[in-house]
Amino acid sequence: MRILFMLSQYKIKKLFKIFIIYYSIHGSIYPVFANPLNNENSFTNYLKLIENNSIELGKSINGEIEIIKNVNEILKIEKKRKQSFIKKGYTPEEAHSFSKVGIVFEDPYWLIIRDATKTDKGTGTYNRLLWKNSLDGGSPGVAILPLLPDGKFLFISTFRHATRSWELELSRGGREKNEDNIEAAKRELQEETGYKIKENKEKESILFLGNMTPDSGTLNSVIPIYLIQNLEKSKKSIEEMEAINSNISLTCKETLNVLKNGFYEYTDKNNKIKKLMVRDSFINSAILQYIIHSPKNNCF
């Protein structure tokens, strides 16, 4: 029993020493418990990310938001941000956690990173959300505006987890590893709508409408939008965690009307009236680009 007690004392002393060392480096032990990514490995991996990927650092002298990668400068900016958070009423532990530069969160798909930044007015920190599959320089995903043989656009009725509501949207999704944008667009179209391009018609069936940034203040995503036509019915293959109810076909005029109204109502397969919110920024961008690219459109 005495031996076990002595061992326990040894472990406690060792753990206490670790906390003292961590505190002397970081000024707090809060991040040990609060966020496992706020550690030296996170910061080292962050610096590697900045070095190894084509991330534009910017130049503050040109009026841009410059990303700082000098470690000493980063430490100064972290200290400044910590003090500013404390002045706003946060505890020293919270302020320390909120000011640390590096990888804040990571999973197989996303990275949330906090950069030390500089403008022509001063320094601070800025958070960014990165799709991992965009770090190769490609787009993280694609969006599709399908045009049916009868001249109507094809949309989907989908329940979105983030908004907790049913939405009228374009088919869209992430680009898989080693997949180009066109392949991703064809796959997403068939999976979500059950339509595919007719055989031997691909070359004249896909038109690039333009790029779109869903939220340029936070996301690194630049998403290409494609008009796809010469379609025929195939088979849907909806992913397990997606909630796509049905296809909705609308003329261009009808699409403009539902965009104006902000919602669309229809009777679903269970004979129930379903109201879809119409606020998908991809639809707005796609329809505008379609009108620009097709002067002889039937939208007005």
Higher pLDDT, 239 or 83: 83
Share of the chain above pLDDT 70, in %: 86
What is the pTM assigned to this prediction? 0.81
pLDDT digits (tens, 9 = 90+) for 187-231: 999 999 999 999 999 889 999 999 999 999 999 899 999 999 999
Would you kindly state where each structural domain of the chain is located, as residue ranges? 26-134, 141-293
| CATH class of the region 141-293 | alpha beta
Confidence of residue 3 (pLDDT cuts 50, 70, 90): very low
Specify the pLDDT at position 64.
96
The Cα 139–Cα 127 span in angstroms is 20
Confidence of residue 133 (pLDDT cuts 50, 70, 90): confident
Cite the DSSP H helix spans in the chain.
Answer: 2-26, 30-34, 40-52, 71-87, 92-99, 181-193, 252-261, 281-293
pLDDT digits (tens, 9 = 90+) for 105-114: 999 999 999 9
Confidence of residue 171 (pLDDT cuts 50, 70, 90): very high
Q: Are 192 and 156 in contact (CB under 8 A)?
A: yes
Would you state the structure tokens that stand for residue 286, as one six-digit string? 């796609």
